[in-house]
Structure 1
Amino acid sequence: MAVTHTEEERMDAYHGGGDFGARMRDRLEEVQRANADVLEEVAALVVERAVRGDGMVLVAGSGHSMIAVAEAFFRAGGLAPVKPLYHPDLLPLHGAAAATAAERRSGLADEVLDGAGADADRGDLLFVFSTSGVNPYPVELARGARGRGLPVVAFTSRACAAAAPRRAGGTLAEDAGLVVDTLVDPGDAAYPQADPVTAPLSSLANSYLWNLLLASVHDRVRKEDLEPPLWRSANMPGGDEANQRFFSRYGPRVPELG
């Protein structure tokens, strides 16, 4: 026998803890409102250094924050002057326990930065994605980049940082110049609302915030009558031809494009 629900019951589920989709949408709206001002500041920095200038947007993360790195790099509609910072030990697909150990290992961040050829004089800047931002890898990335003269933007959760054990004598939020707060609750899980154990929000929040940033960069560039350097889908007519100029321009500094 089919179970039916009244409209009132459906609305109660929508507005209560029973509908993760509703909770997700509400949280993303909250995230957007909370970060409106800092996203405009970050967008202005990106335009100045990587659109009008010759800088690269370096993007880094570890564990599941690597999802945000993949979102930022070589994506249809994404910003072209982006270089991913990466080490195989940091990706759970290459070993989950090993990836956790790697982000807690002091010294790996400097190794990655040294290999990236980061250049403050050319206008490079660094984005670090880390939900808690307490492990040595993200914290030392921020410190190392700032020591090299690069502006640092953190995508992190201050609430998660406050609840997590500090392993690096500080947090990413404390060491970054600009902080985009994902507002993710400690533990990342978001469902059920009363006692969350599943449905993590960090990847959704990172992707949403990154694309809000892209939209702001686009609008700023268009106001200056410039063309935003955006990748086209390689599976659409003319995509390969349109992208070739970016391969030629950025390929020498971004071997990951090869």
Structure 2
Amino acid sequence: MSPEHRTETLGRAAAQYTERVQQILAEALDAEQDRIAEAAALLAERFTADGILYVFGSGHSHVFAEEGFFRAGGSARICPVLEPDHMLHVSAQRSTELERESGHAASVLAGYEIDPDTDTMLVVSNSGANALPVEVARTARDMGLPVIAITSRAYATASTQTGPKLHEVADIVLDNHCPPGDALVSVREDLPLAGPGSSVVGLALLNAMIVAAAEKEAEQGGTPRVFLSAGMPDAAEHNARIIAEMGPRVPHI
């Protein structure tokens, strides 16, 4: 579809948004390929040792934990760190307040049997400046876990919040290349920009990393634990075997 046809069909703002998302996604996947490969190699090594990837994000970033967990084509070695008060469905306003407060990381991670010898932590924060995700990353590192981050360096650099930024704490940083404020298009001059891009791009980075890890694990002679869609032939039996194996390690299963 030509840009002109897209604008005519979708309208100017939506056409600009889809074009901008495609540009940022292509830029991020190209620029971050070395970090994706580095993260995938780490995960393949740790998955082969029976490790788990714990995924944490607060506010809208909690969708990364749910995206990676218990889904068709997804790794069974992903454990989401899900604390309702730090998500959106209990209180969006309160979750925003909590992610800016220090002192919650220990309670967020409590209840998960994390093994620093085999496990890995992924922390997602688009701004990379809020206290809670930075604190979770630092706590995980203090426990001995390698930490991967998905964040926007540009946003973190532009943020007025004080303190360390997520990209300064993590061992491996996947930059989503999204702009400060995470809004991509103007719908009218007197209105704020609209159209977030960090989830679209960040989730692609996440899944590229997981797929690359599975490939490396398979190349090394391992057997990646990947869920089948429930509607596919033999999925029930396939998934039941994985659940029996991984259930004791991943409490949300």
Distance in 1, Cα, partners of 2:104 & 2:7: 49
Structure 1 residue 199 and structure 2 residue 217: aligned? Answer: no
Structure 2 unaligned runs (5+)? none
Q: List, as ranges, runs of 4+ consecutive aligned residues in structure 1 with deviation greater than 2 Å.
A: 7-14, 16-19, 192-196, 221-227
Structure 1 residue 246 and structure 2 residue 238: aligned? Answer: no
For residues 211-242 of structure 1, give each alpha carbon's deviation from its aligned partner in whole angstroms, at most 9, with x where no partner exists: 21122123223323432211111222211110
TM-score with structure 2 setting the length: 0.90
SS of the residue corresponding to residue 150 of structure 2 reads strand
Q: 2:65–2:79: 8 Å Cα contact kept in structure 1? A: no
Task: Report percent identity of matched pairs.
Answer: 39
Structure 1 residue 34 and structure 2 residue 28: aligned? Answer: no
Distance in 1, Cα, partners of 2:149 & 2:188: 29
Instruction: Give the counterpart of 2:125 among 119, 124, 130.
Output: 130
SS of the residue corresponding to residue 199 of structure 1 reads coil
Cα RMSD for the two superposed structures = 2.2
Give the direction of change, closer, same or farther, for the CA distance of 1:252–1:215 in structure 2 (3 Å limit): closer
After TM superposition, the structure 1 stretch with the greater mean CA deviation from structure 2, 131-140 or 244-253, is: 244-253
Distance in 1, Cα, partners of 2:42 & 2:108: 23
Give the direction of change, closer, same or farther, for the CA distance of 1:92–1:172 in structure 2 (3 Å limit): same
For residues 89-148 of structure 1, give each alpha carbon's deviation from its aligned partner in whole angstroms, at most 9, with x where no partner exists: 111111111110111121111111232221102x01100010011111101001100000
Instruction: Give the counterpart of 2:100 among 76, 100, 104.
Output: 104
Instruction: Give the counterpart of 2:152 among 148, 153, 157.
Output: 157
Q: 1:20–1:192: 8 Å Cα contact kept in structure 2? A: no
SS of the residue corresponding to residue 58 of structure 1 reads strand
Report how far residue 207 of structure 1 moved: 1.1
Structure 1 residue 60 and structure 2 residue 56: aligned? Answer: yes
Distance in 1, Cα, partners of 2:218 & 2:83: 35
Q: 1:134–1:164: 8 Å Cα contact kept in structure 2? A: yes
Give the direction of change, closer, same or farther, for the CA distance of 1:43–1:194 in structure 2 (3 Å limit): farther
Q: Trace 1:13-92 onto structure 2 (pairs within 5 A).
A: 18-50=15-47, 52-92=48-88
Structure 1 unaligned runs (5+)? 1-6
Q: Which amino acid aligns with 1:73?
A: F
Q: Which amino acid aligns with 2:130?
A: N
